[in-house]
Structure 1
């Protein structure tokens, strides 16, 4: 995690330099405020990664004396295919279409479909083919 903290630290330093330069060159409030918020968000991630890197033991990719075999093993759980994101997106499209038309009844239908599809996506691994 130390490498990631250094990468985000360098990006934070870049935005610290670029933000006032952008204000002096362009004088634009919108872009300057976006760059300042980007700087603060990058600093937040840098601090988070730095604190956790100091507390945890080094991973194999963080050690200079590590062997390739040290990184062997299970890397985590990766979900298989899922149709639920498609249906969640379709429900959101119905909601947005209802807003665009000003049809409150279509928005209600979209929210109902959205609740159904979102709960299906959340509880996907509790039943069916991919149940744990």
Structure 2
């Protein structure tokens, strides 16, 4: 995790430099000023890289070193349970359909966006609550 944190801190610094240069160049050469789509997206990308770097740095402080941090570690050292996944879950499909319809709705029509929000909310709620009901209830 320590290497992952370093990679995202470096990526965040790189994206910050590129974002500043992009904002200055588009502000200088574009007749309408700073470009209204690319610049905010690059600011969000920079924030995302720094956010992941910070989360990884905090996780390194809290947790012990993992097998990936051992210079002489073997592949078998990382064997075992990697997480809890529900088998045969339809929730990711509905969430992805909702996200796809939301993106399509921004480009094609806001009425499609509304259907995307409905599908996305259904998929996310189903995904969050799937361990609270039925066969997988605790």
**Shared fold (TM-score, shorter chain, > 0.5):** yes
For residues 17-71 of structure 1, the C-alpha deviation after alignment (integer angstroms, 9 at most, x for no partner) is 1012112221125233332333233222212211221332111012112122211
Deviation at 1:5, TM superposition (A): 0.6
Q: 2:77 aligns with which of 52, 64, 70?
A: 70
For the pair shown, the structure with the greater C-alpha radius of gyration is 1
Question: Unpaired runs of 5+ in structure 1?
Answer: 101-106
User: How many residue pairs get matched?
Assistant: 118
More displaced, 53-62 or 33-42?
Answer: 33-42
Q: 1:57 maps to which residue?
A: 64
Give me the whole-angstrom Cα distance separating, in 1, the residues matched to 2:120 and 2:50: 35
Question: Unpaired runs of 5+ in structure 2?
Answer: 28-33
Give me the whole-angstrom Cα distance separating, in 2, the residues matched to 1:115 and 1:36: 27
RMSD (Å) for aligned C-alpha atoms: 3.6
- Name the TM-score, length of structure 1 as normaliser: 0.63
Q: 2:30 maps to which residue?
A: none
- Name the TM-score, length of structure 2 as normaliser: 0.61
Distance change (3 Å), C-alpha of 1:42 and 1:124: closer
